[in-house]
Amino acid sequence: MKNTRSKSTAAPVTEPRSGSFAASHSSSGGELHEQAQGTHAPLTTQQGLVIPDNQNSLRIGPRGPTLLEDFILREKITHFDHERIPERIVHARGTGAHGHFELTHSLEAYTTAKVLTEVGVKTPVFSRISTVAGGSGSSDTPRDVRGFSIKFYTLQGNWDLVGNNIPVFFIQDAVKFPDLIHAVKMESDRGFPQAASAHDTFWDFISLTPESMHMVMWIMSDRTLPRSLRMIEGFGVHSFRLLNAAGDSTFVKFHWRPKLGLQSTIWDEAVKIAGADPDFHRRELFEALSAGETAEWEFAVQLFTQEVADTFPFDHLDATKLIPEELVPLTVIGRLVLDRWPDNFFAETEQVAFCPSHLVPGIDFSNDPLLQGRLFSYLDTQLSRLGSPNFAQLPINAPKCPFAHQQRDGHMQMAQPSGRVAYEPSSLAADSPRESVATGFISATVAESGTKGRLRAESFADHYSQARQFWRSQTGHEQAHIASALVFELSKVEHLHVKLAMVGHMRHVDGGLAQRVADGLGLVSLPAAPHSARPVQNLPPSPALQIIGKMKDTLAGRCIGILIADGSDGASITALKKAAMAAGATVKVVAPKVGGVKLADGSPQAVDGQLAGTPSVMFDAVAVLLSAQAAKALSADSAAVDFVRNAYGHLKAMAVDAGGQDLLQTCGVRPCAGVVAASALEEFLGAAKTRQWDRERSVRSLA
């Protein structure tokens, strides 16, 4: 089919045409670029060739495919991919596990991919979940996007679905990815901050890149502070294509929905967890799988045709946009179960190599320019990081189906091919592998036409409407967290003009949000909003974008901590443990000494953690079961005081007996919803399933 949705408009960096789409839309052109002061040398390639457009890859037509001819893109991405050895440049901090995918609903009408058509078949998988910005030695809980990648070892070859826990991304074109990561990583002149976006270079880049505003709303939300790796959603981000036996093409977006539901920490808690246990997420998954539990997700798809896509008030090829579930409902087609920890962390979790270009017949790419660049970048990264084009021979990367090719030799060659034929076609070997039209990978037959150039579609120009939709879809508590996160992050920025620019962008998202952030930063007045290339739309709210509204009514996957000491009542401890575990929770007992305690009846009680090393931030809810004498002694112990105050301040349900109530009173904790008597087990366990959100305004200042 012919691509005629939008006309081609080039966007030269040096002298954008006044009033043109290029001038208003390009993140380096128009008024945003003019805000920068000083004399700038022309940007060039490594060979000294001046670059006319650093914002858009070379493609056929504004919505067409990216060209391999684009040597500027290839030089920039190649250099970026080879910047660090051997650690991943991004997604260095990762945790992996083995499992399987089981299809429950066939998509045979849409695709020939057997993994999506053969119901009941269990396909082996390996999944790696990671942070983006920090190094391999950083902590698990910073505010960050989580990568969520799955390697399916299918009967037709390996399929890598390389996604995130957020359905959109910062940028529309892969040519900007090195700039984004250079901006968010440690600043080049000082080597910090690690695994943090609260610094000048990141927000300077964002302030000049309005296409990032939708993603900014997501990263400032609680989505980037997950309670557990088992409690995140996953998204393929891009539109892909499914091809059926007749060669018909349907667009698809992939979604993972956690069985345990969504749950996050809050910012103060995440910071304290990083200090108490930097491996919090990794340890939680390891302990769960070791105990026979699993991590499980529903696999769902959004299916739509080009005709349906033409009705969207956005362009589905724009990776900074999502398709609301209310617009195209999700169809659940299977489930992912992770149930086995790697035998060797390095050999599997660190050496696993994901590439979006690894597909199976029946699945194909779209013209999303961010995806098009990733198809080159990931393979190039693996060649650099693993040191050889033979990385597919590593056991964790090797397909589990039959394979045969003519690739030979190279560094780290572990196979020993025999015979004289290493080419095709040939007549010298009867068993030499041949191409197969019948079973081979077929690309979608799509007619492309347009003017070659560094272009961006006009349909990509709306940078604020979905950011506004996301904001207006959140509960009041979640909006407060977003506004407070923006205040925190921008308070770390030294340059006033960057803060002003960001608040200006927020005026397009929501005037109330801009005012709250401005007040939190102490700005005297609201800065002007920058020019918007497109009018901001008031899209309908999407409750599916919330976390609090989607929390499941369950204690499965949650952990309850019980603080005890000498003289505690054994019957109360046993009753609470029994009820909590029956409800699906894990229970850990904490005491001043790891050697255990002597209960009121003189019997010994083993414990799981020592008080000073097992703070309440490790738990979803807590119980404090103490004798009067122990409560008095612990009132002078800062670890015990912090245990109680942090649990209360982090909005957790608390069960207390008489001694526990004495300690709470000493710590200044007032009776309120979620603080209940230890004997009221049903009430406590009900409150432990979520946080006591109405308590928040009484314990901390929010924007």
Asked if pLDDT for residue 219 goes beyond 60, the answer is yes
Structure tokens at 646: 């942090």
Tell me: pLDDT of 20 over 60: no
DSSP state string for 498-512: HHHHHHHHHHHH-HH
Q: Is 60 helix (H, G, I), strand (E, B) or coil?
A: strand
Compute φ and ψ for 696, nearest 5 degrees.
Answer: -60, -45
Given a contact cutoff of 8 angstroms between Cβ atoms, the answer to whether 461 and 25 are in contact is: yes
Give 226's DSSP letter: B
Helices marked H in 337-388 — which ranges?
345, 369-385
pLDDT for the residue numbered 462? 98
pLDDT of residue 85: 56
Question: Please, which residues have CB within 8 angstroms of residue 304's CB and are 6 or more apart in sequence?
Answer: 250, 251, 252, 316, 323, 328
Q: For the chain, how big is the Rg over CA atoms in Å?
A: 27
Kindly give the residue spans of alpha helices, DSSP state H, lying in 35-188. 71-81, 177-184
Q: How confident is the model at residue 212 (pLDDT cuts 50, 70, 90)?
A: very high
pLDDT of residue 310: 97
Query: Averaged over 139-146, what is the pLDDT?
Result: 98
Share of the chain above pLDDT 70, in %: 94
The residue among 27 and 71 whose pLDDT is bigger is: 71
d(CA 565, CA 666): 17
Question: Is 50 exceeded by the pLDDT of residue 471?
Answer: yes
- For the record, the structure tokens of 677 come out as 């008597």
Tokens of 371: 């995806």
pTM of the model: 0.90
CA distances (Å), origin 339, targets 146, 160, 285, 297, 596: 20, 19, 10, 12, 32
- Each domain of the chain, given as residue ranges in start order, spans 64-196+211-393, 555-698
Written as one letter, the residue type at 427 is S
Model pLDDT, residue 677: 96
pLDDT of residue 38: 66
Phi, psi of 298 (to 5 degrees): -80, 140
pLDDT range class, residue 15, cuts 50, 70, 90:
very low
Are the beta carbons of 328 and 308 closer than 8 angstroms?
yes
Give pLDDT tens digits for 237-288.
999 999 999 999 999 999 999 999 999 999 999 999 999 999 999 999 999 9
Structure tokens at 370: 């961010």
Distance CA 682, CA 4 (A): 61
pLDDT of residue 417: 86
Lookup result for tokens 């967290």: 481
Helix (H) or strand (E) holding 276: helix 267-276
Instruction: Give pLDDT, residue 3.
Output: 42
Domains 64-196+211-393 and 555-698 share a fold: no
pLDDT at 23 over 70: no
Among 3.20.20.10, 3.40.50.300, 2.40.50.140, 3.40.50.880, name the CATH number for the domain at 555-698: 3.40.50.880
What pLDDT is stored for residue 13 in this prediction? 35
Percent of the chain with pLDDT over 90: 81
- Placement of tokens 């080597």 in the chain: 191
The token pair at 201 is: 């270079």
Compute the distance between CA of residue 677 and CA of residue 261 in angstroms, rounded to an integer: 28
Number of helices and strands in the chain (H, E): 20, 20
294 vs 585: CA distance, rounded Å = 14
Does 37 have pLDDT greater than 80? no
Q: Which residue's entry shows tokens 């070659």?
A: 452
Residues, the chain, total?
A: 703
Q: What is the pLDDT of residue 4?
A: 39
Structure tokens at 650: 């982090």
Query: Residue 402: CB partners within 8 Å, gap ≥ 6?
Result: none
Residues classed as catalytic = 91, 164
Q: How far is CA 147 from CA 167, 282, 286, 426, 437, in A?
A: 11, 14, 18, 43, 35
CATH class of 64-196+211-393: mainly beta
CA–CA gap between residue 649 and residue 697 (Å, rounded)? 10
More confident call, 387 vs 352: 352
Out of 58-72, 174-188, 257-271, 588-602, pick the least confident: 58-72
Distance CA 185, CA 200 (A): 11
pLDDT of residue 32: 53
Which DSSP state fits 682? H
What mean pLDDT, rounded, does the chain reach?
Answer: 92
